[in-house]
């Protein structure tokens, strides 16, 4: 029995064995077995388990049997802030914000509900309480609303760009300036429904960045978003010739990612600052680098011991 599945947006740019494991909800080793036995393949081109799943491709599976499996739960997703109105999680890589077509991995919403966390019923079915999302391949802080009041107010704050979202990103090359703003509209790329690009017909997007460390071959930056377009940081830095390290979908060098042990883009949502929806107290929540990004940064620093950190 053969099944065709368009490559989900969340899995574009991942190794094929990683993508297959996410699509089928199986281990990476089992996914590799399916690929090597040609039971999982990409239409119209040969691909090894270490190959990269590209935008617009279709994956074909030969399945001897299909079982409806329950959504897997992420048990190691830390809750870094919680009260009666909101919960802020430190989302690991490989976890989606909510369920979507073609995604069989864990979700923030499903994992919170599994723990017994009450979530407001406000929001689209399957996306209750969610007012801002992170990509599957991006780790870090994400806020979910528990109360109806919080949903209404936090949706307004995000829509009106009142929430301060700070990311750290490692980008290829040496940025010329110590700080700058990228203001360029973002829309879907004509070549693919899964990839985005800077285009005059896109929606307005504004990204501010400040250099934290310079390595010559790469630059560590702190990024603040005024808008929240899909793939905004990835698209904007790619558009100025500095794609995120580990992001081949937007032009990054895969050799650098391999040398740093990265299997995803070096991007982490570090800090969320918002006015509490009930008390109106300015609230700040912070995160730390996950193990894979910290390890990659250690290797980069070891390669460039004379790297310069920019003073605050």
**Domains in the chain with CATH codes:** 2-62 (3.10.290.10), 72-160 (3.30.2350.10), 162-312 (3.30.2350.10)
**pLDDT tens figures, 218-246:** 999 999 998 888 899 999 999 999 999 99
**pLDDT tens figures, 242-284:** 999 999 999 999 999 999 999 999 999 999 999 999 999 999 9
At 124 the three-state DSSP class reads coil
Least confident of 52-66, 83-97, 138-152: 52-66
Q: What is the pLDDT of residue 295?
A: 98
**Among positive and negative, which fits the CA dihedral 45, 51, 55, 57?**
positive
What are the CA-CA distances from residue 163 to residues 20, 159, 180, 267, 289 (Å)?
35, 9, 20, 19, 21
* pLDDT confidence tier of residue 111, bands split at 50, 70 and 90: very high
Residue 214 and residue 242: Cα distance in Å, rounded?
A: 13
Type and span of the H or E element at 36: helix 28-36
pLDDT at residue 67 is higher than 60: no
Please give the share of the chain, as a percent, with pLDDT higher than 70: 94
At 76 the three-state DSSP class reads coil
pLDDT at residue 216 is higher than 50: yes
pTM of the model: 0.77
Catalytic residues, which ones? Answer: 135
Q: What is the pLDDT of residue 26?
A: 78
């Amino acid at each position: 029995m053969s099944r065709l599945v368009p490559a989900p947006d969340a899995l574009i740019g991942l190794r094929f064995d990683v993508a297959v494991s996410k699509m089928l909800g199986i281990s990476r080793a089992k996914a590799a077995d399916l690929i090597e036995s040609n039971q999982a393949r990409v239409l119209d081109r040969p691909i090894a388990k270490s190959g990269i799943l590209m935008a617009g491709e279709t994956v074909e599976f030969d399945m001897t049997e299909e079982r409806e499996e329950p959504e897997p739960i992420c048990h190691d997703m830390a809750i870094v802030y919680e009260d009666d109105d909101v919960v802020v999680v430190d989302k690991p890589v490989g976890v989606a914000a909510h369920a979507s077509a073609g995604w069989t991995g864990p979700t923030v919403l499903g994992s919170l509900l599994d723990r017994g966390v009450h979530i407001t019923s406000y929001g689209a079915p399957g996306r209750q309480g969610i007012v801002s999302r992170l990509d599957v391949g991006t780790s870090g802080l994400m806020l979910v609303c528990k109360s109806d009041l919080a949903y209404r107010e936090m949706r307004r704050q995000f829509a009106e760009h009142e929430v301060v979202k700070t990311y750290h990103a490692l980008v290829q090359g040496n940025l010329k300036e110590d700080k700058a703003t990228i203001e360029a509209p973002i829309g879907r790329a004509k070549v693919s429904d899964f990839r985005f690009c800077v285009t005059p017909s896109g929606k307005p997007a504004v990204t501010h960045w400040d250099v934290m460390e310079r390595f010559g071959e790469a630059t560590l930056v702190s990024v603040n978003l005024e808008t929240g377009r899909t793939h905004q940081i990835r698209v904007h830095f790619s558009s100025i010739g500095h794609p995120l390290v580990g992001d081949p979908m937007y032009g990054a060098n895969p050799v650098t990612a391999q040398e740093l042990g990265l299997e995803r883009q070096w991007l982490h949502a570090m800090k969320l600052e918002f006015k509490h929806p009930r008390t109106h107290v300015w609230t700040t929540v912070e995160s730390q680098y996950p193990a894979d990004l910290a390890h990659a940064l250690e290797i980069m620093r070891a390669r460039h011991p004379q790297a310069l950190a920019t003073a605050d």
